Amino acid sequence: GFRGYFEKKPHFIQSVPFAIDIAGRILGEERDVEECLGDCWLQLWNAIPPARPQHFRGYLGAVVRNRALLLRRRRGRQGDTVSLAALELAECLPSREGPEEQAEAAELGRAISAFLRELGEGPRTAFLRRYWYADTVEETAGHLGWSLSRTKSVLFRTRKKLKAYLEQEGML
């Protein structure tokens, strides 16, 4: 089970601060972060095995991010970095309101993943840090060792490319 995975994968312990950081960026309050991470550890315990993630850190990041966003929605909170990042992306993405659009949303996810695979490492990392991990623009720039203006420019151009890509794919 998870315990065996944990014992064989010491990088699990090294990933705990990463998980705390993601939950903290999305939720903000320590009490909410603790609740989110408790839920995530239980989810991981139940998922591994049968899941055997090759990239545990990415798997953990997705579990924590999704759980934190769910908890945030349940608490009815908006604002700060997460909402600002969502607003930046909103102009590039189609609106998906009704239940019948779930299949389209999955297709959109695959299209965005394909788009990201085509990007160079720097723009892809900037995009993911900003829009997946909810880093501020300043944090994204610091992580990449870029100036703030370069980071803003790369993110703007990447959003424009994403919009054009999605239009070309017939998703907008």
3-state secondary structure of 125: helix
How much of the chain exceeds pLDDT 70, in percent?
A: 75
- The pLDDT value recorded for residue 83 is 54
Q: Which two tokens stand for residue 155?
A: 């993110």
85 vs 107 pLDDT, higher one: 107
Q: What pLDDT, on a 0 to 100 scale, did the predictor assign at position 11?
A: 64
3-state secondary structure of 156: helix
> Measured between alpha carbons, how far is 66 from 52 in angstroms, rounded to an integer?
19
- pLDDT tens sequence across 23-38: 888 888 899 999 999 9
Helix, strand, coil percent values for the chain (each to nearest 5): 75, 0, 25
Integer Cα distance of 5 and 109 in angstroms: 29
Between CA 118 and CA 124, with CA 122 as vertex, the angle to 5 degrees is 45
Residue type present at position 59? Y
Q: Which two tokens stand for residue 34?
A: 């603790």
| Global pTM value | 0.59
Average pLDDT, the chain: 80
What is the pLDDT, as a whole number, of residue 82? Answer: 55
Higher pLDDT, 75 or 158: 158
Q: How confident is the model at residue 1, as a pLDDT?
A: 47
Task: Average the pLDDT over 144-169 and give the result.
Answer: 94
Q: How far apart are the first and last CA of the chain?
A: 43
Mean pLDDT, to the nearest integer, of 98-120? Answer: 76
Within 8 A by CB and 6+ apart from 94, the residues are 104, 108, 166, 171, 172
Compute the distance between CA of residue 19 and CA of residue 83 in angstroms, rounded to an integer: 20
